[in-house]
Structure formats: C-alpha cells, structure tokens
Amino acid sequence: MNQEITANLANEFKNNQKVLTAIGDETRQAILMTLIQGQQDPGMRVGEIKEKTHLSRPAVSHHLRILKDAQIISVRKEGTMNYYRLNVTSKLKLLKNLVDEIEMLLSQCE
C-alpha cells in the first residue's frame, strides 16, 4: 500500500475521531435523529428533546455537550433559553473526506 495514501487515511481518521466517537453512540444517534426531524429555526430545547427521546434531562444535556464539543450541533442562546440544532458547518462533512480516502484506497487494491 502506498505510504502517502496510508498517511492520508490515518490523518483523515484522526481528523474524524471526535465525530466518529460522538455519532457512534446509539443515544446520541437518537438525539441527532430528533434534531433532524425537529424544528431547525430556532432549534429544539432540552425539554423537547427529552420528551421525544424519553431520556432524562441530565442525560440529554450530557449527550448534547458531547455533540456540541464534536461540532456536530450548535446552541443558540435567547435569554435563559438554549436552542440546539444541527451545525450548518458541521464536522460531519469531514466524514466525506474519510470515505473518499477509503474508496481511493480500495480502488487501487482492485
């Protein structure tokens, strides 16, 4: 295998580590699905997400923090209210680069 391709692939995995960890959890996947199906403007509040996912408020807050740290979702504050929604400039787009690198590697192995 070409060392340059291997290095690029390793770099893409490293760039995606937080995103892969964040979306690898089933609970966070449920929260993401809820956010995708919910209102994007202004977003969803923790209580709304709690109702849709049947999780406790602390659990929702914990998982939202992880998704926010991975830059998959964003939070908008209005006074004392926080609204969560998918981040338009999400790091999820980095996954495409990872998939492209893997596809390039596989095409060279055929």
Domain 3-109 fold is Arc Repressor Mutant, subunit A (1.10.10)
**Would you give per-residue pLDDT tens digits along the chain (110 residues)?**
578 878 888 888 998 999 999 999 999 999 999 999 988 889 999 999 999 999 999 999 999 999 999 999 999 999 999 999 998 777 888 888 888 888 888 887 76
Phi, psi of 59 (to 5 degrees): -65, -45
Question: Would you say the C-alpha torsion 97, 99, 102, 103 has a positive or negative sign?
Answer: negative
pTM given for the model? 0.84
Calpha distance 87→68 (Å, rounded): 9
First to last CA, the chain: 12
Domain edges within the chain = 3-109
Helix axis angle, 46-53 to 26-37, nearest 10°: 110
